[in-house]
Amino acid sequence: MKKMLTMLLISAVGISMFPFTSTAEAANKPIVGNPELSVLVDGRKVVFQGGDPVSEKGRVQVPLRGIGEALDANVGYSGNTVTYQKTGKSITLTLGSNVAIVDGESVSMDTTAKAVKGRTYVPLRFVSENLGVSVSWDQAANWVWIGPKEIPTPEEAGVKNVPISDFKTLIGKYEVLLTSAFGVKYTTVNVINVDQLPLKIGDVIIYDIWPIKQGSNEGLKMHVSNDSPSITFLGSKFTAKRRDPIKTLNVKNPDTTLTLAYPIVFGNDIDEDPDYKSFKLSQVEYFVISLSSDSLTVIVNPFK
């Protein structure tokens, strides 16, 4: 009876993001949370040391050395001058100046190299294109793609692969996770870190996953190429909890990829946990992504 009442209440919520939030309340509390601004070179996410990419007036700036190394360029820095050299191409930038020297010629820019929190940042598009590499902006992902969009598989990206026995205690009685959609028993688990995304797993690409909130309520969004996989939460302090995408909040992006939304708290948990409303994203250790693949797919929760 409790479960039936819970489902009726969830249905009454309508477009609300989370169970037990009234429609009027939800309307006054927008869903907030966006994917982090990232830079990908040849389909691999660049991890910058000492600072993250920043966007200013529609122009993405990045730490000077990180982008040069990702593009296999020789990087020089002296005083207020930054230089890049790669296969016969050269760029010289001066902090605060909108004039660069490209292959010996003066070129005007619509932005400048600058200091950001004590670090020297350079205009990403200008540097990349003048080193001969294509650049494109991905609105859905909040990413800058540099070079070919060649998404690696977990094996190509060096994802850690462990025996399924390492996860049997966390999976517990939720043994459906041990078998693939084709009825094959998993023997291994791919343990993915968010910085290793995007990855091509079977016929689906997982681009990114990030936290969202509506008032004090928590949720997740996941950007995928296709399909609408469920997510199962695993942790040592609770039994496995499955979440399906919220259909009313799924978005088909202009590039045909999908952005899916998932609740953290869900009314169906009431049967096993009377205190289910207090469940938090920080309690989750792993996200199990339901995909057709040779290994069980899990993502380490970085949002604790």
pLDDT (0 to 100) of residue 12 = 37
Percent of all residues in the chain with a pLDDT value above 70, rounded to a whole number:
91
pLDDT (0 to 100) of residue 58 = 87
Q: Which of these ranges, 3-17, 138-152, 190-204, has the smallest mean pLDDT?
A: 3-17
Q: In the block, which residue shows the tokens 């039936």?
A: 4
pLDDT (0 to 100) of residue 26 = 55
Cα–Cα distance list, 178 to 5, 211, 241 (Å): 31, 26, 15
- CA torsion sign for 129, 152, 73, 53 is positive
- Whether 226 has a pLDDT exceeding 80, the answer reads yes
Residue type, 230: S
Residue 275, helix vs strand vs coil? coil
Strand partners, 296: 189
Stretch 134-161: mean pLDDT, rounded? Answer: 95
How does pLDDT run across 167-203, given as a tens digit for each residue?
Answer: 999 999 999 999 988 888 999 999 999 999 999 999 9
Asked if 90 and 83 count as a contact pair (C-beta separation under 8 A), the reply is yes
Residue 216, helix vs strand vs coil? coil
pLDDT class for 105, splitting at 50, 70, 90? Answer: very high
